[in-house]
């Protein structure tokens, strides 16, 4: 039982961290609270399922297909839908409220278009289904690989933000948008790239989830709320907070799942309420 929670919670935590890093990046740079974040995960999952079913492409290889496709979709949505809202919003609060309403609309549009094209039936791409023994607990190899890949992708994103010029431009835009413009940074382009990267990370998580879970066009909101929980728990705008918060939520979710599956979200949000009473800005909030 204890080994089950340790291993299962770590696997879920790694994937939840990746999803949260993407949403945190979008909100931190663009100030858009993307309630449709889970729908990008679902799009990545469906791209993977299509290539798996039609061409036999394994989900790990399809990461280099689903990620860029959803990255481009994210950039186009930011440019076509959100750029106008950014320009007309004079303060951050206006932008957050307007973008929140747009994201709700976007969520329902993506859900229903995918359901109309591919039907609401659950889809998956079972891969690496053989079980391996870890500390006396048998777990699917696909779940372990998904967790390891999630950590690797999260670390690669950290390196991009920390040691590349585009990462420096993103951090400058967050810290001082006006100062960033004065030194030649195009904030509008940075917003588009940041939104696209957030969508890419979410899609990558979706591509790995379908190796051991079946998803429908309407499963996106569950992962959006989990990502929001992770961000609030770890601290808005904190990369380390997303990682640590993801593992905390993963453990709480999996532990409650073994006790009563109906209590998973209640347990997660109870944990958040308790933490916010103690530390309102989250674990790594400034």
Residue that wins the pLDDT comparison between 44 and 178: 44
pLDDT band at 147; cut points 50, 70, 90: very high
Domain ranges of the chain: 2-218
Residue that wins the pLDDT comparison between 275 and 211: 211
Distance of alpha carbon 37 from alpha carbon 57, whole angstroms: 25
Q: What is the pLDDT of residue 48?
A: 96
Per-residue pLDDT averaged across 220-245, rounded?
90
Angstrom CA distances, 120 to 46, 66, 209, 216, 262, stand at: 12, 20, 18, 6, 23
pLDDT band at 98; cut points 50, 70, 90: confident
Distance of alpha carbon 252 from alpha carbon 12, whole angstroms: 10
In terms of average pLDDT, the best of 134-143, 206-215, 227-236 is 206-215
What the block records as the tokens of 35 is: 């309630």
Q: Which long-range contacts (CB under 8 A, 24 or more apart) does 171-174 make?
A: 173/29, 174/28, 174/29, 174/237
The answer on pLDDT for 182 being more than 90 is: no
Q: What is the pLDDT of residue 14?
A: 94
How many residues in the chain? 286
Per-residue pLDDT averaged across 69-89, rounded?
90
DSSP state of 207: H
CB atoms within 10 A of CB 51: 19
Give the 3-state DSSP-derived string for 167-196, with helices as H, strands as E and coil as C.
HHHHHHHHHCHHHHHHCCCCHHHHHHHHHH
Distance of alpha carbon 14 from alpha carbon 119, whole angstroms: 30
Q: What is the pLDDT of residue 265?
A: 86
Q: What is the pLDDT of residues 12-34, one digit of tens each?
A: 999 999 999 999 999 988 888 89
CB atoms within 10 A of CB 286: 9
Distance of alpha carbon 275 from alpha carbon 63, whole angstroms: 35
């Amino acid at each position: 039982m204890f080994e089950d929670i340790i291993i299962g919670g770590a696997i879920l935590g790694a994937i939840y961290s990746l999803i949260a890093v993407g949403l945190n990046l979008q909100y931190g740079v663009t100030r858009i609270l993307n309630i449709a974040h889970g729908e990008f995960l679902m799009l990545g999952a469906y791209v993977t399922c299509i290539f798996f079913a039609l061409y036999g492409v394994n989900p790990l290889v399809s990461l280099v297909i689903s990620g860029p496709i959803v990255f481009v979709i994210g950039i186009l949505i930011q440019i076509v839908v959100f750029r106008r809202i950014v320009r007309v919003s004079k303060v951050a609060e206006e932008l957050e409220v307007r973008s929140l309403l747009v994201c709700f609309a976007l969520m329902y549009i993506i859900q229903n278009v995918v359901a109309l094209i591919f039907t609401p039936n659950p889809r998956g791409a079972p891969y690496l289904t053989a079980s391996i023994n870890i500390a006396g607990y048998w777990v699917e190899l696909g779940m372990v690989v998904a967790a390891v890949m999630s950590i690797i992708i999260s670390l690669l994103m950290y390196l991009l933000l920390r040691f590349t010029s585009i990462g420096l431009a993103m951090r400058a835009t967050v810290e001082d948008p006006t100062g960033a413009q004065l030194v030649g940074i195009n904030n509008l382009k940075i917003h588009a790239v940041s939104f696209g990267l957030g969508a890419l990370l979410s899609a990558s998580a979706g591509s790995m989830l379908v190796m051991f879970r079946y998803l429908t066009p309407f499963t996106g909101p569950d992962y959006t709320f989990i990502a929001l929980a992770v961000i609030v728990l770890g601290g808005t705008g904190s990369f380390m907070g997303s990682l640590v918060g993801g593992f905390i939520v993963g453990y709480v979710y999996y532990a409650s799942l073994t006790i009563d599956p109906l209590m998973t979200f209640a347990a997660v949000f109870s944990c958040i309420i308790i933490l916010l009473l103690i530390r309102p800005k989250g674990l790594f909030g400034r």
